Amino acid sequence: MGIARTRHTPDQTHPQTLIIIHALSNRSRGSNHVTQEYHPREKDIIPGGSSLMARAILFRTRASASFNYFQAWARGQSTIPLAQPVVELSAAERLEPRSPVVVTSEIPGPRSKELAARLGQYQNTDAVHFFVDYERSQGNYVVDVDGNCLLDIFTQIASLPLGYNHPRLVKAMQKPENMATVINRPALGSYPPVDYVERLQNSLLSVAPPGLRQVQTMGCGSCSVENGMKAINMAYQRRIRGPVPYTEEELQSCLVNRTPGSPKLSFLSFKNGFHGRTMGALSLTHAKWYVKLDFPAVDWPIAPFPQLRYPLEEFVRENHAEEQRCLEEVRDLIDTWDKRGEPVSGICIEPIQGDGGDNHASAGFFQGLQDICDETGVYLMFDEVQTGGGVSGKYWAHEHFSLRHAPHVVAFSKRMLSGGFYFADELRPKEGYRIFNTWTGDPTRLVLLEQVIKEVREEGLMANAELVGRYMLDSLKMLQCEFPGLVKNARGLGTLCAVDIRDAKTRAEVLRRMRNRGVNLGMCGVSGIRLRPSLLFKRRHVDIFLDRLRTTLAELK
């Protein structure tokens, strides 16, 4: 039995039938309610069609402005209560599953394992969690190749602003006028496309951090940081050199890595910082051994990042002292390295240390750091690769710090879809090819980013991140009271939230059990759980997450 209705949408040439399969089962899997909506893929959309797939039971069709809900139990065995119109949901949310569904006894399931074994013939797969069916994944839910549907609170290592297959992005990619951008990836530094300036203005420049109006796109987070460092070093040398031409000695010595062309400058970074894996960025990275081991790194100054104690309100004095200690050390290091003849040209810092443990510091700490930079002539770079894009409740996390003026560089990637960095006017290179590589980014990503930014504005997603983040943090604090000793240090800004688990072994077990309950999480630091949901994450998602986390913690108590 089946019903299919034709949906006419003004922006589509062909009417299409939208089929949503809603599978219900009485099976109970721990706290999982086995309720699942599958969402139409291209092949499930039957133009003007009238047939149905086997277990298709619920069709949601749209007629003019209002929604009508239809139900049908494919085998005529049962009846489901008629769904209420959910007019408050956005187009993207209406496509999303209602809760996780786990269909294999563990994740990764057999198909994932089989694919991992095949891939294992050609590369190391130890970091593979599971194989994904990207076509079926939707919104906050990732569907794996075994048919498990997981609430994704790690979103491809914090890099999906609007979750999976957001209809607005799908539509942008289907537009014929965007096809040439997708097919012909340009060498942007030399042959930018006709609409490139407009694309930049409508995307990256429209959300530039206050006070910065120069931008350079790049491929990934590491090379964004790497090139931000280069821009800083060039500006530093320009300041020393003054308005004179380069000497022949400089031009020749740089070719063999010698002074004066390759100057002895240093870059200051922080313990537990993570800034990427290219050789320059790697020298600023101090989070995990397997990122660093066996690679030569430049010996540059490393300052302590404040180790705050929680709850913050109970340790105000101690935390202030800790931040002052770290700032003093920064000052000392700048002085020491200056005397050593390797002056610090720049400081690179994350507004919240991500990989290194979701370590926060106060606005006062960052203001103090900027003051030191101003006093010593050192450039300040914020690495917002993980914190940018609106999830903190502002587009850029450093906007929470009320700095006296803009930082010199703000590096981005991940949720911004394109890598790159914003920079102060004085950092603008004087010659072409100085900050450059073949692709220097990808304009296709800007097409998508433009749509992301529109969605963020129209749907108030930054305000949502702030509200949902607060709800999530409050709930985590409550959980901390329920499970003292097992969960601690709940912290967050917007939805950039984290907690620490008793120890690394228990953390691994929490992550494994949560995945088997249909929730995908990230980790950070020694025993931290890192939450990095999309901007579409709402209170109902927090509730699902917390419900399953509570069950898991109760088991491990």
Ligand X SMILES: Cc1ncc(COP(=O)(O)O)c(C=O)c1O
436 is catalytic: no
* Cis peptide bond upstream of 351, omega within 30: no
CA triple 56-57-58, angle to 5 deg: 110
Shortest Cβ distance from residue 440 to ligand X (Å)?
15
Shortest Cβ distance from residue 536 to ligand X (Å)?
21
Work out whether 226 is an interface residue with ligand X (CB under 6 A).
no
Q: Which CB atom, from 475 or from 520, has the smaller least distance to ligand X?
A: 520
- Chain center to CA of 553: 26
Shortest Cβ distance from residue 209 to ligand X (Å)?
16
**386/259 Cα distance (integer angstroms):** 35
CA distances from 108 to 111, 145, 509 (A): 8, 9, 15
Work out whether 221 is an interface residue with ligand X (CB under 6 A).
yes
Work out whether 528 is an interface residue with ligand X (CB under 6 A).
no
Q: Which of 414, 421, 483, 552 is catalytic?
A: 414
- In this structure, the number of other CB atoms found within 10 A of the CB of residue 306 comes to 21
Q: Which one of residues 386, 392, 480, 552 is an interface residue with ligand X (CB under 6 A)?
A: 386
Q: Which long-range contacts (CB under 8 A, 24 or more apart) does 213-216 make?
A: 213/422, 213/425, 214/422, 214/423, 214/424, 214/425, 214/427, 214/428, 215/420, 215/421, 215/422, 215/423, 216/420, 216/421, 216/423, 216/435, 216/440
126 is catalytic: no
Work out whether 409 is an interface residue with ligand X (CB under 6 A).
no
Shortest Cβ distance from residue 90 to ligand X (Å)?
28
Q: Which one of residues 37, 146, 323, 355 is an interface residue with ligand X (CB under 6 A)?
A: 355
Shortest Cβ distance from residue 189 to ligand X (Å)?
19
Q: Return the range that interacts with ligand X (CB under 6 A); candidates 63-71, 92-100, 349-357, 493-501.
A: 349-357
414 is catalytic: yes
Work out whether 359 is an interface residue with ligand X (CB under 6 A).
no
Work out whether 383 is an interface residue with ligand X (CB under 6 A).
yes
Spell out the residues 6+ positions from residue 451 whose beta carbon is closer than 8 angstroms to its own. 166, 168, 169, 172
Q: Return the range that interacts with ligand X (CB under 6 A); candidates 4-12, 100-108, 245-253, 350-358.
A: 350-358
DSSP state of 227: H
Binding mask of the shown chain, residues 99 to 128, with x at each position contacting ligand X by CB under 6 A: ------------------------------
The alpha-helical segments, DSSP class H, found in 287-315 are 289-292
Q: Which CB atom, from 136 or from 532, has the smaller least distance to ligand X?
A: 532
Shortest Cβ distance from residue 274 to ligand X (Å)?
5
φ/ψ (deg, to 5) at 297? -135, 155
Work out whether 275 is an interface residue with ligand X (CB under 6 A).
yes
Residues in the chain: 557
Please give the positions annotated as active site. 274, 383, 414, 438
